[in-house]
Structures are given as structure tokens and as C-alpha cells.
């Protein structure tokens, strides 16, 4: 139960309204019984109904649904997702829990612990956090080549909550009284090894380390980050972001990787090579006088497949179907060719127009992810309507286009229509 402290102002005692018909009274979520305990619950329920149009000529479709030849082209899916968060926070310490539950039907549902970590505020400028926690490094909206400790990010829905990383971190902030360098922040993260013995133990020498130094330098956000590991690829990079006008922001990221594994199919077998190279991103946000927001980003994935290599992978998938041996190919596909950006060069564009033609609470947006290597693309339109506080309904059609053998053209579905309803609490 939440008790609210009522701030009573001059006219409050008699509940007088202004002639302008609003009240200067308002209730502030304040210190109350729950707050004394430091416990707060929040989250949202997301009901999603999908209609898919399948591309039955796609080798990836034929692999995934091998032997099921009598299926129609139109499928549906109903999915219920519950995000439930609990936060216990005092001025000095706290505990944070973020859970995710997905429900398809009574026989298929799941629960994930996205985050569960404790924090200690050593002072107003030094903090320790330990547990499973999500990080989000990098300035890019859809892609983050310097996101060394980030959760997997889906460029089709970059703002979707994702599972965190088991880690311990230390943060130290220092503000400086200078016009040139205003803030310095150091973040250091210790990440326990993935490879465990008997599901519980790990060799201490396999512990990974990550660090980020943030500088607010000449009104430019500037981060230098590195990731050190004996097992995983070591990486170093930087990012920046700044406003060049009152309505234009630019940002960029550059990452250098060493010994990063690149998987390709060579003569119908998996060939893994260790590569050194660079990934980078350049982007901008622009807002015009009609409140139209444009986000544009170019992303180069230095470890991505070129057109011939991706074609080799699709040929391999096709051969799995033709030889009636989908298991091996499916296994490779799920293990070594997962993810949304398998190739090298992408262009992302998102345009959002809140309340066009004075249609209240209605926000349409359009985004596209264009694969510059094979000219395939994904085009989506999101129509969001928020008629009430804490409620949102959304229609989200997605069209996936490309020739056979291209990254988007080889997806299992070529159209997807999503109807979504969110209720916050």
C-alpha cells in the first residue's frame, strides 16, 4: 500500500481551483511505509499477438520446419510477457530484482532472472555493485560495437529489456571545476568465467576484466573502454557523443578486436578463424520544428561475413535440406550463426513523428535496417497509441525484403504483423 504525502499549498485547504481549471494541489509519492522499508514494485504486462507470413522457399525456413510440407503460409502466435521489478533502496545500500516471465500456453512458459544485484553507496561518488546486472556501453542506438559487457541487443527493438551479466563492479565519479574537463568516471568490472567445472567451479585465471573511463571533455561525452580475457577476445575502443546544434546530436564508436572468432562454411564444413580488426559506428539524431525525430546510423561489423561467405552459409543450409540431414546444419546455425547482424555493413534509419495532424496520443514511427552488402532490408512501421496513462496499444507491421540468399531475404518470415498492448503498474 502506498501512502501519499499531500502537499497542501495556499489554496489547498479549501480545494479551490484556478479559473484556468487546474488545481495547484498535488500529491507527491513520498516517504511512506513502503519507502521506509525501501521496497518498491513496478513493471509492465505486455500482451503480443503476431501474424506471420512465411517464406517457404527460404532454406532457413525449410531447415527449421523440415518435413512439415503441409503448413499454410499464415501463422499466428500469442505471447504474454510479464516484467516484474522489485527495488529495495536506502541511501547507503540496495537490492534490485528484475524478472521476466513469458507465457505461450499452459505447457510452454518460462521465467528468467534478468537482473538481481546488490549495491553499496560508499559515498555520493563511489559505488560497488555485485550480482547479475545489465550494462549498456556505447552511444549507438541500434548497434554497439563497444558494448563489450552488454546484453544481446536486437536492432529491431533496441529498447527491449534484456538479461544482465553476472559481475561485480566498482564506480568512482569525480567532478572537476573546469571548463574543459568537467567529469571523470571510472568503471571497473570483474566477470566470472563462463566455463565452469561440474557446473559450479571455474579457474580463477579465466576471470575476465572490463574497464571504462568516461570523460565529459569540451562538452563531448567521451568513453575509453577495454575488455581483457584469456578465453574471450580482448578488445579496446572508444565512443563519443555531442550536440552540435540545439537539435542535432552526433555519436560514434570504434572498437579494435584481437583473436575474435569468425565462423564461416568452407567446403560444407565449419571453418573458424581468429581475426584482428575494427568495428565502428557513426550516427546522428536530428529533431525538426515539427518534432520529427530522425536517428540514422552506419555500422561496420569487422568480424561480419561478406556476401560470398553468407552465400556459402545459405548453400550449406540448402544442402542440409536437400540431403535430408537438417540436424547438423540446424546445430551450426543455432550455435555459430546466431544474431541479427551476421554481415558487415548496415544502415539504420528511424523516423518518429509524435501526434501528426494533431492526432492526440498517437505516435507513428518507421525504421529500416538496410544491409549494404547484399541490398536486403527490413522495413517496419510502428503505430503507438496511448489514450490513457500507463496504457499503450501498438500495431507493428514488419516487411522483410531481399533476393534469395541475402541476409534478410533468407529469413523464415517475409512479413510480420504485431498487435501489442502494454499495461504499466
Partner 1 sequence: MIHPKRSLVGLLIITFAVANSFAEDANELLKKIDEKLTPESYEAYRKLINEEPDGSEKEFIFYTVKKGRDKVAMLYLSPASEKGRATLRLGENMWLYIPNVGKPIRITSMQSITGGIFNNADIMRVDYSAEYDPTILEQNDTEYVLELKAKSKSVAYDKLKMWATRKTLLVTKIECYSASGMLIKTLEFKEVKDFGGGVVRPSVVETHSPLNKGYRSIMIFAKMELRKFPDEVFTLNYLPKLGDLR
Residues that bind partner 1 (CB under 8 A): 7, 9-10, 18, 20, 22, 24, 26, 28-31, 42, 44, 89-91, 94, 121, 124-125, 127, 134-139, 141, 158-161, 171, 173-175, 177, 182-183, 185, 187, 214, 216, 219, 221, 241-243, 245-249, 251, 285, 287, 291, 293, 354-355, 358, 360, 389-390, 392, 422, 424-425
Would you say 64 or 101 has its CB closer to partner 1?
101
Would you say 100 or 346 has its CB closer to partner 1?
100
Nearest-approach distance from CB 11 to partner 1, in angstroms:
8
Nearest-approach distance from CB 286 to partner 1, in angstroms:
9
| Three-class DSSP category at 276 | strand
Would you say 283 or 312 has its CB closer to partner 1?
283
Would you say 198 or 358 has its CB closer to partner 1?
358
DSSP letter, residue 373:
T
> 274 φ, ψ to 5°?
-95, 130
Nearest-approach distance from CB 7 to partner 1, in angstroms:
4
Would you say 103 or 127 has its CB closer to partner 1?
127
Would you say 21 or 106 has its CB closer to partner 1?
21
In this structure, the number of other CB atoms found within 10 A of the CB of residue 424 comes to 13
Nearest-approach distance from CB 20 to partner 1, in angstroms:
7
Contact 166, 193 (CB under 8 A): no
Contact 364, 340 (CB under 8 A): no
Nearest-approach distance from CB 150 to partner 1, in angstroms:
9
In this structure, the number of other CB atoms found within 10 A of the CB of residue 68 comes to 8
Would you say 125 or 268 has its CB closer to partner 1?
125
Would you say 51 or 250 has its CB closer to partner 1?
250
Would you say 295 or 342 has its CB closer to partner 1?
295
Nearest to 38 by CA among 128, 148, 121: 121
Nearest-approach distance from CB 159 to partner 1, in angstroms:
5
- DSSP characters over 186-248: EEEEEE--S--BTTTB--GGG-EEEEEEEEEETTEEEEEEEEE-SSSPEEEEEEEEEEEETTE
Burial of 191 (0-12, 13-18, 19+ CB in 10 A): buried
Nearest-approach distance from CB 332 to partner 1, in angstroms:
32
Beta strand ranges found along 57-193 (DSSP E): 74-89, 93-105, 108-121, 126-133, 165-175, 181-191
The per-residue b/e assignment along 121-139, b for 16 or more CB within 10 angstroms, e otherwise, is: beeeeebebebbbbbebbb
Nearest-approach distance from CB 257 to partner 1, in angstroms:
21
Q: Within 13 Å of residue 390, how many CA atoms lie on the same side as its CB? A: 7
Nearest to 75 by CA among 310, 423, 415, 315: 415
Nearest-approach distance from CB 1 to partner 1, in angstroms:
15
Would you say 153 or 411 has its CB closer to partner 1?
153
Nearest to 317 by CA among 196, 411, 394: 411
Q: Within 13 Å of residue 365, how many CA atoms lie on the same side as its CB? A: 19
Nearest to 193 by CA among 207, 180, 182: 207
* Interhelix angle 326-336/307-322, nearest 10 degrees: 150
Q: How far is Cα 42 from Cα 84, in angstroms, rounded to an integer? A: 6
Cell numbers standing for residue 391: 496504457
Nearest-approach distance from CB 39 to partner 1, in angstroms:
13
Amino acid at each position: 500500500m502506498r501512502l501519499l504525502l499531500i502537499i497542501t499549498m495556499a489554496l489547498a485547504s479549501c480545494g479551490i481551483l484556478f479559473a484556468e481549471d487546474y488545481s495547484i494541489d498535488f500529491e507527491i509519492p513520498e516517504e511512506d511505509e513502503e519507502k521506509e522499508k525501501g521496497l518498491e514494485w513496478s513493471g509492465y504486462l505486455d500482451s503480443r499477438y503476431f501474424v506471420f507470413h512465411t517464406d517457404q522457399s527460404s532454406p532457413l525456413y525449410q531447415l527449421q520446419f523440415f518435413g512439415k510440407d503441409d503448413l499454410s503460409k499464415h501463422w499466428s502466435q500469442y505471447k504474454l510477457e510479464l516484467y516484474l521489478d522489485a527495488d529495495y533502496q536506502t541511501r547507503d545500500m540496495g537490492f534490485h530484482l528484475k524478472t521476466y516471465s513469458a507465457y505461450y500456453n499452459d505447457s510452454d512458459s518460462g521465467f528468467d532472472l534478468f537482473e538481481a544485484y546488490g549495491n553499496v553507496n560508499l559515498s555520493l561518488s563511489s559505488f560497488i555493485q555485485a550480482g547479475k546486472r545489465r550494462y549498456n556501453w556505447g552511444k549507438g542506438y541500434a548497434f554497439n560495437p563497444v558494448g563489450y559487457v552488454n546484453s544481446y541487443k536486437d536492432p529491431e527493438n533496441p529498447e527491449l529489456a534484456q538479461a544482465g551479466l553476472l559481475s561485480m563492479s566498482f564506480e568512482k565519479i569525480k567532478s572537476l571545476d573546469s571548463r574543459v574537463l568537467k567529469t571523470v568516471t571510472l568503471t571497473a568490472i570483474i566477470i566470472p568465467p563462463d566455463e565452469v567445472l561440474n557446473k559450479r567451479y571455474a579457474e580463477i585465471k579465466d576471470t575476465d576484466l572490463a574497464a571504462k573511463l568516461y570523460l565529459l571533455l569540451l562538452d563531448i561525452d567521451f568513453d575509453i573502454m577495454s575488455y581483457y580475457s584469456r578465453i574471450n577476445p580482448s578488445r579496446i575502443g572508444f565512443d563519443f557523443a555531442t550536440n552540435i546544434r540545439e537539435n542535432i546530436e552526433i555519436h560514434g564508436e570504434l572498437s579494435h578486436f584481437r583473436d575474435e572468432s569468425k565462423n564461416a562454411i568452407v567446403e560444407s564444413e565449419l571453418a573458424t578463424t581468429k581475426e584482428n580488426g575494427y568495428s565502428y559506428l557513426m550516427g546522428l539524431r536530428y529533431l525538426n520544428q515539427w518534432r520529427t525525430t530522425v536517428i540514422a546510423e552506419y555500422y561496420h561489423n569487422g568480424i561480419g561475413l561478406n556476401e560470398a561467405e553468407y552465400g556459402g552459409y545459405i548453400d550449406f543450409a540448402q544442402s542440409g535440406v536437400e540431403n535430408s540431414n537438417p540436424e547438423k546444419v540446424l546445430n551450426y546455425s543455432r550455435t555459430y550463426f546466431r544474431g541479427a547482424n551476421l554481415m558487415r555493413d548496415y544502415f539504420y534509419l528511424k523516423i518518429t513523428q509524435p501526434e501528426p495532424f494533431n492526432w492526440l496520443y498517437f505516435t507513428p514511427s518507421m525504421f529500416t535496417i538496410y544491409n549494404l552488402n547484399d541490398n536486403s532490408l527490413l522495413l517496419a512501421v510502428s503505430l503507438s497509441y496511448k489514450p490513457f496513462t500507463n496504457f499503450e496499444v501498438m500495431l507493428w507491421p514488419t516487411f522483410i525484403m531481399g533476393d534469395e540468399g541475402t541476409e534478410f531475404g533468407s529469413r523464415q518470415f517475409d512479413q510480420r504483423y504485431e498487435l501489442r498492448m502494454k499495461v504499466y503498474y
